[in-house]
Each structure stands twice: as structure tokens, then as C-alpha cells.
Amino acid sequence: MKKIYALAAVALMAMSANAQDGAPLYITGGSVDTNNSGFVNGDWNPTTPDEFTYADGVYSIHIDNLVQFKISSACGDWDLFNAEAIGVPEYTKDMLGTPVALEPWGENVMCPWAGDYDIVVAGDLSTITLTTTTEDPGDEIAIYLRGDMNGWGSPEEWLFTSLDGNVFKLTCSDDMAVLAGETFKVADALWAKYNFGAAEGFASYMLDAPLPVQDGSNDNMVLEEDWNGVCYFCLDESLVFFSNDKDADCPFEINNDAVSNISVESSEAPVYFNLQGVRVANPENGLFIVVKDGKAVKVVK
């Protein structure tokens, strides 16, 4: 009799451990371009999220243009979805193709890079395996202007062109514009490596002046007037420059020979601006932006 009870207990434990098997499992998240979402029901939709297919003891799903996601056994709203969410606190490219332990996790799971992914979850929700046919971009820097004007996605037309790995340029086509009052940031497709927002103290940004931005800022940028021209972004100096003149010269030093911080003597007098873009005649006791020979850098006086 004891042996029968023991076998029954083992069977009960096995049923409990595999209770999730076959029950619905959901996923939602973010795409490279929200206008071309890889999710059937749209990005970040906890009410009707996409659902995994269950077969042969595992859950599986394929999602194109994926950058980050959440998985849950519940849906309806964010409170319900997050209450049963599971994930991996830090998912790296070394984990691709290998089952990785899942745990209760309310934050987003970041893909190693944006791409097309197959996601497989063990039937008991113990592990997750990601594979992708999208090649590793390596250390290539891909940053975009992302905001109200493009649904906060990262479509190719809003991709900056790298001039030297430090200075980037974006020129608007005729059908592109950022209207005064629209909010935006300079960021990568994952909102992970680069996420530049408004610097402290900035309510809005003016045109034709090199002005500071801040990495990791929660404040979005806003322009004082409509813009449909060129933008230059300097990564090392954390500066942006917007102009409606599409032929405006870059105000930042471009390194064409992998040697940075080269200075050339010139008779041109430097012009100083404070961090609000206001010209300063006698800069002292603070951080300023100095423009000389058409180039802008930050200096401390």
C-alpha cells in the first residue's frame, strides 16, 4: 500500500510540474519598425497578444523584425500580463541556440540584435531557446531619429549615415519632417546601446545651433519650429545640430584618418554658446560650446 501511495505522489508531482503544458502562452514586444511589425496583433499589445503554437511538448513562434519581447501565461491588460510574465534578465548572443533557464521576470527580454527570430519554450516553461537567420551586425553603429513623426520606430529613411564612426548625418527627403512640438530621440533600434534625449534644462531645441543631448535621458527632444533639413549628431560630444538648410556644413570635427582631436591654428575668433544655445561674450565658470572654423566642441571655462 505504501508503494502505491508513493507512486501516486510521484505522479501528482509530475502532473503539477507540467501543468502549463498545452495551456495558452502569449508573447508581445517591439519591432524594428512599428509600421512593419513582426507581431500579428501589433507591438506591445497585452490585451490580445500573439499566441505560441504548442506541439510535441514545446511552444514555438516565429517573429520578424524583433528587438525585444515579453512572455506570459496570462493576458488582458498589463497588470495581468506582467503578473505571470517570465523571461531572462540578460540575454546575450552567446546564448543563441541554447536552452536558457526562464524565471519570473517583469522586464523586457532584449534580443542580441534586431532580426527575424524563432522562439521555442519548453512545455513546462523551464527554458527558452532563440535562433535567428539575421546576421550579427557586430559593432556597427546604427542609430535613428525616432519619435512621433515615425511612430517611434526605426525605419530606414530615418537612419543616420556615419561620417567617421563618431559624427552622423541625417538628411530629410521631401516627404519627411519633424513638426514643432513633436517629440523624438536619437537612439538605436533596441533602445539599449544609444538612447539620447533632451539634456537637463531644455524645454525645446532651436535650429542652426549645436546643442547638447543626454544619453539615457527620459526627456524627449522637441524643436521650436518645423524641420525638414539636415541633422548632424556627434556621439563623443553628445551634441546635435538641426538646420533647414540641407546643404549646411557639419559643425563637428570629422575624423577622416582615424586620428581625433587634431587642431589647426587659425585666425578665426572662437564663438561661445552656453548649453541653451545662447551666444556668450565672456565665457567663464561653466561648460560651453565653442565654435571655431565651423566646428563645435564642448569646453570648460
CB 260 within 8 A of CB 252: no
Number of domains composing the chain: 2
Q: Tell me if 191 is assigned to some domain.
A: yes
Residue 263 has pLDDT above 50, yes or no: no
Q: Tell me if 269 is assigned to some domain.
A: no
Q: Which residues contact 288 (CB under 8 A, 6 or more apart)?
A: 272, 273, 274, 275, 280, 298, 299, 300, 301
pLDDT digits (tens, 9 = 90+) for 20-35: 779 999 999 988 877 7
Q: Which domain holds residue 226?
A: 143-261
pLDDT of 96 reads: 97
Q: Tell me if 138 is assigned to some domain.
A: no
**How much is the pTM?**
0.64
Q: Tell me if 61 is assigned to some domain.
A: yes
Q: Tell me if 285 is assigned to some domain.
A: no
Most confident of 14-28, 133-147, 205-219: 205-219
C-alpha cell at 98: 541554447
Average predicted confidence (pLDDT) for the chain: 86
Residues 127 and 6 in one domain: yes
At 169, which CATH number? 2.60.40
Choose the final residue of a domain: 106, 132, 158: 132
Residues 110 and 36 in one domain: yes
Residue 115 has pLDDT above 60, yes or no: yes
Q: Tell me if 301 is assigned to some domain.
A: no
Q: Tell me if 152 is assigned to some domain.
A: yes
Question: Average pLDDT for residues 260-281, to the nearest whole number?
Answer: 60
Residues 116 and 163 in one domain: no
Q: Tell me if 245 is assigned to some domain.
A: yes
